[in-house]
Amino acid sequence: MPLAAHSHWTMTFFAVALTLLAGAEGLMVAGIGYPATDLAAPESLVVVHLVVIGWLSLAMSGALLQFVPVLVSRPLAFAPLALPVLVTIVVGLAALVAGFSVLAGWTDWTLDLMPVAGLLITAGFTVLALMLAGTMGGAGLVQPFGRFVAVGLASLMAALASGTAFAAIFAGRADWLAAASLLPEGTRFHALLGLGGWLGLTAFGVGYRLFAMFLLSPDPPRRRMAAVLACGAIALLAAGAGLAALGAGLDPGDLVEAAAVGALALAALLHGRDVVMLYRVRHRKGLEINMRASIGAVAALGIGAALLPPAVLFGASERVVAALVFLLVFGWLSGLTLAQLVKIVSFMTWLEAYGGQIGRRRVPQVGALVAMPRTAIWLALHFAGVVAGTLALAIGAAGSFRLAILACLAGTAGLAVELVRVRRLCDVEPSLRPPVDARTRILLPPRPPRRTDDAPITTTHQLDRRP
């Protein structure tokens, strides 16, 4: 499979995602959103959607566009649509934030922006799902990874449908839906589908592949991965049933939510057990920075998954539940994504810069593109902020929470600078850097390979892709 068959816009997805994460963290540092306001306040919803759609979903989309073709050994389907997908989602997210700003009283624009935003975001992710489904085809579902992605995409579609309905209700354009009590009761199931189904289950599938690849570990037995997927699917069916009941004017009760949260937590704990096994049986003795940082993310997953179900079941205070959700979102999902971005970006940059030179000249190792000590500092700063932020939310210390998020923001900014340095090959030995006109571009697609008369162009299927 030639490099041209992969997505050319993965770096752009990552750059936009990091920018929106920094924007959300900046708003929290400024005291906008929870805990300064109510959890369901428009100000909080601005921050939540910047993090969930702008940061996590775009980063996940960029990674899937790159890895799904590799894992199923097929070209990316409808590859030219990657950039329109990104633009559509970002424009839709901007319209959604503008709509929430109207509800918050920041602007006096029209609320009709909200249903438009819902349609744009839905359209963007629907095309993305078609690209991934078209790439995987039937062959992708044979692999456990493909099944996790398929269930994750199904959850994404359900979350988008409910989110679009909420947007129409906010705009006063769907009174018949408002009468069905979808708001605010339906938001808990919407969150379970988006965070637990789309982001959570897909992260499980991606994690199985990346952890095994980067640790040089054998894949876990399929029956163990199947158990994780089954628990996740049960949870998402419960969440979908809860939403359907509300749509039909019925009260699903707290038991449905507790069942969904409990099944997702069990899936998370089983996945965490498998990840610990991958670390124990690894053939790579020395851990690289991305895998060291991922230990913190897995620990956050274990703590959050173990404590969140009893907190929901026994009616813990809102601040305790919010603290555990924050731990899962910023400690596990964000921490894991930031850590793996370091490896993914450096590996892709290495392929672009040196893939065609293997066997013709000396090339650096992938790890030589990353300044490990500085990168470790930024990741440590992020996780320190997550720990402090979780504790601050749990005890209701809003001022301390802003200071903790400031640490996370510093870590995000530092990592962004390091990733730019990776793209520019700043930390590579000068004698091993390619000519200036042949170096990788920070955001734009790689330059077409230059043909020479004495050597064929090397394509990625000829390369050993192991990190």
pLDDT digits (tens, 9 = 90+) for 364-421: 988 899 998 999 999 999 999 999 999 999 999 999 999 999 999 999 999 999 999 9
Segment 57-101, tens digit of pLDDT: 999 999 999 888 887 888 889 999 999 999 999 999 999 999 999
pLDDT-based confidence at residue 285 (cuts at 50, 70, 90):
confident
pLDDT-based confidence at residue 454 (cuts at 50, 70, 90):
very low
Residue 461 has pLDDT above 70, yes or no: no
* Alpha carbons 421 and 439: distance in angstroms, whole number: 12
Which tokens go with 186?
A: 């339906």
Contact criterion met (CB below 8 Å) for 236 and 196: yes
**Percent of the chain having pLDDT more than 90?**
64
35 prior amide bond cis, ω within 30? yes
Residue 289 has pLDDT above 60, yes or no: yes
Q: In 10 A of CB 179, how many CB atoms?
A: 10
Q: In 10 A of CB 276, how many CB atoms?
A: 13
Output the CA–CA distances (angstroms, integers) from residue 210 to 145, 260, 271, 273, in the order listed.
10, 27, 13, 16
Residue range 136-156: average pLDDT? 83
Residue 226 has pLDDT above 70, yes or no: yes
Segment 336-372, tens digit of pLDDT: 999 999 999 999 999 888 877 777 788 898 889 999 8
Selected residue with higher pLDDT from 436 and 16: 16
Question: Dihedral of CA 65/68/73/75: which sign?
Answer: negative
pLDDT-based confidence at residue 284 (cuts at 50, 70, 90):
confident
| Per-residue pLDDT at 170 | 86
Least confident of 42-51, 99-108, 425-434, 442-451: 442-451
| 185: exposed, middle or buried (Cβ count in 10 Å: 0-12, 13-18, 19+) | middle
**Percent of the chain having pLDDT more than 70?**
91
Cα dihedral 170, 20, 236, 117 in deg (nearest 10): 30
Taking Cα atoms as reference points, which of 102, 119, 116, 99 lies closest to residue 49?
99
Selected residue with higher pLDDT from 183 and 74: 74
| Per-residue pLDDT at 75 | 87
Residue 204 has pLDDT above 90, yes or no: yes
Residue range 203-219: average pLDDT? 91
Selected residue with higher pLDDT from 16 and 39: 16
Which tokens go with 30?
A: 């400024």
pLDDT-based confidence at residue 457 (cuts at 50, 70, 90):
very low
| Per-residue pLDDT at 2 | 46
Q: What's the mean per-residue pLDDT of the chain?
A: 88
